Structure 1
Amino acid sequence: MDSSIQNRSTGILGDYDKPLFWSTAGITVLIVALGVISPDTLQAWASNAQAYLSHQFGWAYIAALTSYVGIGLWIGFSRYGDLKLGQKEDTPEFSTFTWVAMLFSCGIGVGFLLWGVAEPLYHYMQTPYMAEPATQEAIAVALQITSLHWGLHSWMGYCIVGLCIAFPAFRYGKPMNIGIALYGLLGERTQSSIWARLLDLVGAVATIGGIATVLGLGVISIDYGVGHIFGIETGNSGKIIIIALLTLAYSLSALSGLKRGVAFLSTLNVVVVIAFGIFILVTGDTNTLMRYFVSGIGNYLGNLLPMAFWADPLQQSDWINWWTIFYWLIVISWSPFVGGFVARISRGRTLREFIMFAVLTPALCSMLWFSVMGGSAIAIETAGDIRIFDAVQANIGSGIYVLLESFPMSDVLSLVVFCSMIIFLITSADSACFFVAMQMSKGAYEPSFGMKATWGLCTGLLAIVLLLSGGLKAVQAASIVAGSPFAIGIGFMVWSLLRSLKLEYAKDLLEKAGQEVLQEIKRDDNAKDCSSVSGLAYRAAD
């Protein structure tokens, strides 16, 4: 294994990449300073940049992410599917359930709770195409659109980056930094290449912006939960306290290591969420909700290509910029840390297994979750018992809490959701800080405690500044701006991966052929005198 993988302690930060560390820290400090000195300027700059990217290049993000879905599925179910992330003798570090639980927790666990009610309701009340808003037909369309945003595209966006990092790192025993994803193009020059170094920097900055977004969005829901459950009204000072406590919690979790921190919390929380989802399904209109789910699979697959490639060419509204394109940019900005963390925990998995359990299984679970939560919310909204949509428009974090008012034991369920949201935020931020620390530590698989704590603090400060400088819109816009340059890098990473897969597949074929020849030689006592393949090989060996 490359010696740079080993974390040689040279201080509290360990053996770290000084140019990458200080470049990333400098950019983060500049954003924080601008947010403190002139928050209006930061919000205006981020919003203008987001609007420009969405309007001018939205079509490119749509085409790119959809193409990655096709490429990823092809890799998983093609002749390359049997290749391993690692050597042939490598075995998985985590059980399949724990592995998938960690994927959910570091990926979109926070989003499940925050948007499970809100997004289907938005698309039902403000349906952009294929149906009139707030009609029976709009229910199916709303669930289809939600499945598009939380299905194959999201999970493949994360996991294709994970494959690009994990394959060369585990297969060739290289450091696990983002730049190693270009190994198929650059070979042994990767570590010194300016292009790989640039990819490291862009990925690190995108990760910082992405996790600040996770914290910002999560705090909105936690803040509402504090008022809803405990009757405590919080202002900006309350949000700062919440982020500070979360920062302390996920920093301690990161320090405890993967198996004691993220793995344990992820498994526990996913079990709780599964039980919560089953309770809502069973106590609600089970038959109708399951019909939504089963019909939704067919509707999603049947309309996948039209929805995936719809780019609103006439630009009749800003809907696509604030929904589909925004989601794809969020996926891109989160893909370095989600994909990188997924890469770190996936040694020993085959590519086919990776696509099956890291893409297809989560996508199907996402469809079930949004069918149950979204379907329940729409049913309550149309019955007129509770105006959930009004509550969601006033505060996006209120959706799931207001929904629970129609279910038995609503107070207990609200507390469960509140605690689950906190754990999801801890595991998401923990995994992100772990991955950033890996990058700064020259791709070390186990970065130092000091490095993980340093970036835990930095992301917490950035989240506070973004919230104070413009709330949700500033968080969203900053995330998009931070992630957009990485979209270009993913294209080169996929190209590099395909070249590596082709080479490794050829090597495996040659090795298998060589073993077959040797077996034939052993069976042929007169190999030297015959004209068979074994004889030719024997003479060539001589």
Structure 2
Amino acid sequence: MTPSEQTPGTSPSDHRRLGDPVVLGLSAGFIVLFILFSLYDIGLVSDSIGEWFTATAAGLGSYFQLLLLATFFIALGVAISPAAGALVGNRTTPEISTFRWLSMIMCTLLAGGGVFFAAGEPVYHFVVTPPAFNTEAGTPEAVAGALAQSFMHWGFLAWAILGSLTAIILAHNHYDLGHPLRPRTLLYPVFGQRLMSGWIGGVVDACCVVAVVAGTVGPIGFLATQVSYGFEVLFGIQDRYSTQLMIVIALGAVYVTSAVTGIHKGIQLLSRFNVMLALAIAAVIFIFGPTLFLTNAYTQGFGEYISSFFRMGTMTSETAPAWWMKWWTVFFFAWFIGYGPLMAIFVARISRGRTIREMILAVAVMAPVATTVWFTLLGGSGIFYQMQEVIDLAEPLQNFQFDVATLTVAQALPGGMLMALAILLLTTIFVATTGDSMSYAISVVGTGHDEPNRAVRVFWGVAMALMAAILLYMGEGQISALQQFIVITAIPVSLILLPSLWTGPKAAYAMARQQGLISHEPHPARQKD
């Protein structure tokens, strides 16, 4: 077997187990304890998480921002370096076609969060001017800043932390050195082999699994409330827990089936269908919607994003309201940090045969640009209809009712009810692609193998759906509490990602030297006479 198929110290029988008992015990234990404590005293859990959330946002918000900034710019540096031509995974041709590869990246990383916020966030920043700008809310002058702020939260920085430098490290250490695709492998260049087989490595993996579980269960729960609300508005089906439960069951069945069939079947198929549906919706919005407004808004918004990039990216609670930083920039950046290690595992797994340059540019440049276009089509349309007084989302959005915003904007779009149904379907499948890819990635972490046992994938997929169903039963407030918990889980995960700022470029150059792209000889100026 090759290193990618068999990791040191393992045998095929090892991979039929549920996985590392430390990883399984800590991560599954978190799920059980969170639910039990919530059942015991919901108020205490919510209040405690709220306090930790506020303290983390205030004390570490700037650190999170700097980590994302550094990751993006260092990744760009690697992409234009001589090492960028190195191939991932000991293959000279891509394992997955370009369209399928890009589809999987877009659907997995953008997923339900981006689609859930795409309609409402730009409108929110339009009716409540972001602190980086001084335009009057609700005026034509506020459009560019509203889009630019949304682009900041879902653009270059967010994507770069999800699969650029970290994916390089995992690719090199897994395919070239034979180490497993686990978060602990990110720290191998720093701590060496003792981390790979000890219990500390299990703790590292578990921290990352918990962060992803928290980040994935939230969108599953919010999707259930959004679709249930949509069914009531569109079909008169009462928005209640039984409806939400059926939605969670259906969603879980879809993404568990996709995860079980694997990278080359279900996950690819679901991603391709989702991209095709998104392209169809985008075409309808652009052609039959406010085309000229959207074109001008995107041009101005992207220009404002670039010109105000550092002002928005480095804003702190000293220069902006603390509540705003906590619930917007810091929250989103912490969310992406929490996803970072497992998303990097997924990117490294699907990028065999791609160059480092292709991988970085796809994740940190192409995908963010596509995201800004999507946010402009949905959110920009929402701004247009808000300005024309076709809709009024000021009050719902100030109460953070983004499920209302998505459906309201969808109904105002060309096609009305049909467009609303299409966007609800798209959102559902986007969340499903997150569920299947994360069920797969968590299973890879637990077993330390590229092709984890199907039972393991089913276990984690069902566990996340079950957790969402239980929290919805206890009330939407518990889903919100779990979302706030994401910011707390970002603390240990950020420490796992931090060394990638220097080990990522080293891994890229090591791959390039191994493939003969860069000379093994030291620079002449460094040689002794």
TM-score by length of 2: 0.91
Give the corresponding residue for 1:111. 113
Specify the alignment match of 1:521 in structure 2. Answer: none
Deviations 1:442-496 (A, max 9, x none): x211111111111112212222344425245213212222333201110024433
Amino acid in structure 1 at the alignment position of 2:337:
I
2-structure distance, mates of 1:133, 1:91: 51
* CA distances 1:354-404 after superposition (whole Å, capped 9, x unpaired): 112122111111111122222211111111122133444563112232123
**Contact 2:224–2:245 (CA under 8 A) maintained in structure 1:** no
Shift of 1:289: 0.9
Instruction: Tell me whether 1:375 sits opposite 2:400 in the alignment.
Output: no
Partner of 1:477: 484
Q: Give, in whole Å, the separation in 1 of the partners of 2:520 and 2:217.
A: 51
Q: Which residue of 1 aligns with 2:85?
A: 82
1:526 matched residue in structure 2: none
CA contact (8 A) 2:411 2:419 kept: no
The equivalent of 1:405 in structure 2 is 411
1:420 aligns with 2:406: no
Alignment of 1:64-75 (within 5 A): 64-75=67-78
Q: For residues 288 and 37 of structure 2, what CA distance do their matches in structure 1 show?
A: 50
Letter paired with 2:56:
L
**3-state SS of paired residue (2:294):** helix
Q: Counterpart amino acid of 1:475?
A: L
Q: Is the 8 A contact 2:155 2:371 kept in 1?
A: yes
Aligned residue identity for 1:483: A
1:106 and 1:427 in contact (8 A); partners too: yes
Deviation at 1:314, TM superposition (A): 4.8
Tell me how far 1:272 sits from its aligned partner.
0.6
Matching residue's letter, 2:368: A
Shift of 1:165: 2.1
Equivalent AA in structure 2 for residue 498 of structure 1:
P
Q: CA deviation at 1:222?
A: 1.6
Alpha-carbon deviations, 1:254-311, whole Å to 9, x = none? 1122222110010011111111011111112212211221222222111111111111
2:23 is aligned with 1:20: yes
In the alignment, the residues of structure 2 paired with residue 396 and residue 213 of structure 1 have an alpha-carbon distance, to the nearest angstrom, of 14
Could you tell me how far 1:92 is from its partner in structure 2? Answer: 1.7
**Which of 261, 275, 284 in structure 1 is aligned with 2:280?**
275
Q: Deviations 1:56-110 (Å, cap 9, x if unpaired)? A: 11111111111111111111112221122222x4422211111111112111221
Q: Is the 8 A contact 2:249 2:465 kept in 1?
A: yes
In 2, Cα distance between equivalents of 1:504 and 1:16: 29
Q: Does 1:35 align with 2:41?
A: no
Q: 1:135 is matched with which residue: 136, 139, 150? A: 139
1:155 correspondence with 2:149 = no
Is the partner of 1:484 in helix, strand or coil? helix
Of 22, 43, 47, 1:44 maps to 47
* 1:19 to 1:193, Cα distance in 2 relative to 1, 3 A: closer
Stretch of structure 1 that moved more, 182-191 or 379-388: 182-191
Match in the other structure for 1:490 = 497
Structure whose alpha-carbon radius of gyration is higher: 1
Asked if structure 1 preserves the Cα contact closer than 8 Å seen for 2:258 and 2:270, the reply is no
Partner residue of 2:125? 123
How far residue 237 of structure 1 moved from its aligned partner, in angstroms, is 3.4
Q: 1:178, 1:340 → 2: CA distance?
A: 8
Instruction: Name the SS of the counterpart of 2:420 in structure 1.
Output: helix
1:356–1:502: structure 2 CA closer, same or farther, 3 Å change rule? closer
Question: Who is 1:301 aligned against?
Answer: 306
Aligned partner of 2:439 in structure 1 is: 433
Mapped contact 1:213–1:479 kept (Cα < 8 A)? no
Q: Secondary structure at the match of 2:318?
A: coil
Q: Which one is further off, 234-243 or 61-70?
A: 234-243
Aligned partner of 2:252: which letter?
T
Aligned to 1:247: 252
1:387 to 363, 367, 392: 392
Aligned equivalent of 2:461, options 440, 456, 462 = 456
The equivalent of 2:508 in structure 1 is 501
Deviates more, 1:59-68 or 1:89-98: 89-98
The answer on whether the counterparts of 2:513 and 2:519 sit within 8 Å (CA) in structure 1 is: no
Residues 1:165 and 2:170 aligned together = yes
Give the aligned residue type for 1:72.
A
Deviation at 1:4, TM superposition (A): 3.2
Deviations 1:119-149 (A, max 9, x none): 0011111112322222222111101100101
- Distance in 2, Cα, partners of 1:132 & 1:408: 29
Distance across 2 between alignment mates of 1:373 and 1:7: 49
Cα distance in 1, alignment partners of residues 79 and 351 from structure 2: 15
Aligned residue in 2 for 1:525: none
Instruction: For residues 193-224 of structure 1, give each alpha carbon's deviation from its aligned partner in whole angstroms, at most 9, with x where no partner exists.
Output: 55543321211211211211221232232222
Give 3-state SS (helix, strand or coil) of 1:69's partner: helix
Q: Which moved more, 1:259-268 or 1:341-350?
A: 341-350
| Amino acid of the structure 1 residue aligned with 2:118 | G
Match of 1:4, SS state, is coil
Q: Structure 2 CA distance, aligned partners of 1:466 and 1:452?
A: 22
Tell me the SS of whatever aligns to 1:380: helix
AA paired with 2:418?
Answer: V
The CA distance in 1 between the partners of 2:79 and 2:512, in whole Å, is 13
Choose 317-326 or 454-463, whichever is displaced more.
Answer: 454-463
Q: Matched residues in 1 for 2:292 and 2:320: separation?
A: 39
Report the residue type matching 1:80 in the other structure. Answer: A
The one-letter amino acid paired with 1:82 is G
Distance 1:275 1:154 in 2: 25
Which range is displaced more, 242-251 or 265-274? 242-251
SS at match of 2:226: helix
| Whole-Å separation in 2 of the counterparts to 1:261 and 1:162 | 23
Q: Following the alignment from structure 2 to structure 1, what is the Cα–Cα distance between the partners of residues 375 and 342?
A: 25
Instruction: Report SS of the residue matched to 1:444.
Output: coil
- Alignment partners' CA distance in 2, 1:227 and 1:39: 28
Q: Distance in 1 between matches of 2:514 and 2:479?
A: 50
| SS at 2:12 equivalent | coil
Kept in 2: contact 1:7–1:446 (CA 8 A): no
Contact 1:102–1:266 (Cα < 8 Å) also in 2: yes
Match of 1:323 in 2: 328
Residue pair 1:182, 1:497 contacting (<8 A) in 2 also: no
- Structure 1 alignment gaps of length 5 or more: 515-542
Give the conservation status (yes or no) of the 8 Å contact 1:184–1:497: no
CA distance in 2, matches of 1:245, 1:297: 38
- Counterpart-to-counterpart distance in 1, 2:516 and 2:344: 29
Return the offset for 1:7. 6.9
Partner of 1:530: none
Q: Deviations over 1:143-163 (max 9, x none)?
A: 110010111011101013333
